[in-house]
Amino acid sequence: MAKRKRVEVASPAPVQEQAPVKKAKPSTKTTTKSTTKPNKNATAAREAAPNGPVEELTFQIVTGSYDRVLHGITATVKPTGAADFADTFLFTAHTSAIRAVALSPVSSPVPGQGQKVLLASGSTDERINLYNLSAHPPNRKNQELLSSVAPRPILENSKNRELGTLLHHSSNITRLVFPTRSKLLSSGEDSSIAVTRTRDWSVLSTIKVPIPVVHGRPSGDTAPFGGTPSGVNDFAIHPSMKLMISVSKGERCMRLWNLVTGKKAGVLNFSRDMLQEVGEGRHSTGEGRTVVWGKSGDEDEFAVAFDRDIVVFGMDSVPKCRVMPDTRTKIHEVQYVTLDGETEDNLNILLVSTEDGRVLFFSTATSDLKQPDSEDKTLSTAKLVAQVGGKEEGVSGRIKTAAIMQSKELDPSALYVVGGSSDGKIRMWRIPKDELAARDGSTKKAGKLLGTYDTQNRITCLAAFVMIPRPDGVEESEDEVEEEDSDDSEDEDDDN
């Protein structure tokens, strides 16, 4: 009986030790505490590293050059603020100089598949080449050996593919735009604008721009073939996708087009007084070089860039202001950018790249306009908010092209500007939005130069986008590319 009592006493003891039900609750509390810690660490990382993103941020940069080379570069910005550049692809894409490149919006996410971006490049050889680029950063695995042997860092992406070539134009390509992922608009010196559907790359419509009649040129047998200047310099599509503005060679006007019907909506001539005020005198062409759509507050506006100045128009097509404080330097790139803040009041800034190696930021808001200082001038002047580059930073050559990007997830408080110079160098700046939104009345040097990369080619055009981190479950397989193409094309067809 004593042995039985020992067994009965020993049996309940382990039961109480093996089933501690109340001890499971503190484990849930510890898990909730651990989930709140990353948020505090993320905010601490933003405060501790004001010169960079919270995590590594990767950009895909694509450049075209006079040397017929299409160059893809990845720029990885670390939280410390340093940028590392690596070649993604580098090859001779055309038989003559590349004039334009364009990137489409990122494809919609599909579970288990990667996202893509369409790339188009246009040249003076009348061809438009098409490519598929991966929207995710390339895998660094097994690529250290290749980078160590090559003279420059190499980071290839196995998902990048060539799609084909379009022959929709009979002359030099001047402009390429993806307004949506399902449409590609292209213009050329054959005075036409082609609307192409990306699902099957067929031409939906071709807009014929009238060839101007130029006075004072040789006529009859003395006129050389093709001597009359013609061709579309640039075009801009309204965000509603219903209206388009184009500027052409040999025309002192801009043309409005109805994209719903594909027909001309009107012609707006540039007045002689306005042209003289922006430096387009008797011996100048007076033609618009670039046109862009933007916003000032809640109202839409558009800007037309000439050789050495820019004029901003309201929706009533009346000149609102001129941009450049003087006409001493030539203008190359013009873009609008919206500073998305935490409040509902988003600020709109106009970016301008110049011949003297600067990237300028202007405010075209009505409250920031400066009245003309003499009676012979009628246009107000936009306010210069900030600038980057210039001789102070060692940039003496022209900045031929530029792109501006922002990441709302990893670095919502800053903008990233990439500038391409004719000397072959790419420079990347990080500019805090607070420096552009400040209205203290003084023009200041903004941002910080993150890095410089020498492409060793004379850059003519540039495009860039923020790469998306690779989602879980997406593997790098060769068979996945064809499946993505078919799925995405079906989705785009349904959207149309």
Confidence of residue 296 (pLDDT cuts 50, 70, 90): confident
| Model pLDDT for residues 63-83, shown as the tens digit of each residue | 999 999 999 999 999 988 889
Least confident of 199-203, 361-365, 476-480: 476-480
- Does the pLDDT value for residue 310 go beyond 70? yes
The answer to whether position 271 is within a domain reads yes
Least confident of 37-46, 312-321, 336-345: 37-46
Which pLDDT belongs to residue 20? 45
| Model pLDDT for residues 272-291, shown as the tens digit of each residue | 999 999 988 877 888 999 99
Considering Cα of 163, then 165, then 169, then 175, what sign does the dihedral take? positive
Query: What range does the domain containing 466 cover?
Result: 57-211+227-495
Residue with tokens 């050389």: 224
Confidence of residue 311 (pLDDT cuts 50, 70, 90): very high
Which pLDDT belongs to residue 429? 95
The answer to whether position 160 is within a domain reads yes
For the residues 112-118, what does the mean pLDDT come to?
A: 91
| Higher pLDDT among residues 445 and 354, named by residue | 354
Element spanning 252, H or E: none
Confidence of residue 443 (pLDDT cuts 50, 70, 90): low
DSSP 8-state symbol, 391: G
The answer to whether position 300 is within a domain reads yes
* Alpha carbon of residue 267 to chain centroid: 29
User: What does the DSSP assignment read for 170-221?
Assistant: SS-EEEEEEEETTEEEEEETTTEEEEEETTTTEEEEEEEPPPP--SSS--GG
For the residues 438-461, what does the mean pLDDT come to?
A: 85
- Does the pLDDT value for residue 335 go beyond 50? yes
Strands of 69-77's sheet, edge to edge?
83-92, 69-77, 57-65, 459-466
Which pLDDT belongs to residue 143? 66
The answer to whether position 37 is within a domain reads no
Least confident of 54-58, 117-121, 341-345, 454-458: 341-345
The answer to whether position 47 is within a domain reads no
Q: The CATH number of the domain where 247 resides is what?
A: 2.130.10.10
The answer to whether position 453 is within a domain reads yes
Confidence of residue 50 (pLDDT cuts 50, 70, 90): low
Which pLDDT belongs to residue 345? 56
Which pLDDT belongs to residue 192? 95
- Does the pLDDT value for residue 494 go beyond 70? no
The answer to whether position 442 is within a domain reads yes
Element spanning 145, H or E: helix 144-149
Confidence of residue 62 (pLDDT cuts 50, 70, 90): very high
Residue 444: beta bridge partners?
386
| Model pLDDT for residues 125-165, shown as the tens digit of each residue | 999 999 999 999 988 776 666 666 777 888 888 889 999 99
The answer to whether position 222 is within a domain reads no
Which pLDDT belongs to residue 380? 93
Contact 385, 363 (CB under 8 A): yes
Confidence of residue 224 (pLDDT cuts 50, 70, 90): low
- Does the pLDDT value for residue 39 go beyond 50? no
Neighbours of 340 (CB within 10 A): 12
**Could you give the number of structural domains in the chain?**
1
pTM surpassing 0.85?
Answer: no
Which pLDDT belongs to residue 261? 87
What mean pLDDT value characterizes the chain?
A: 82
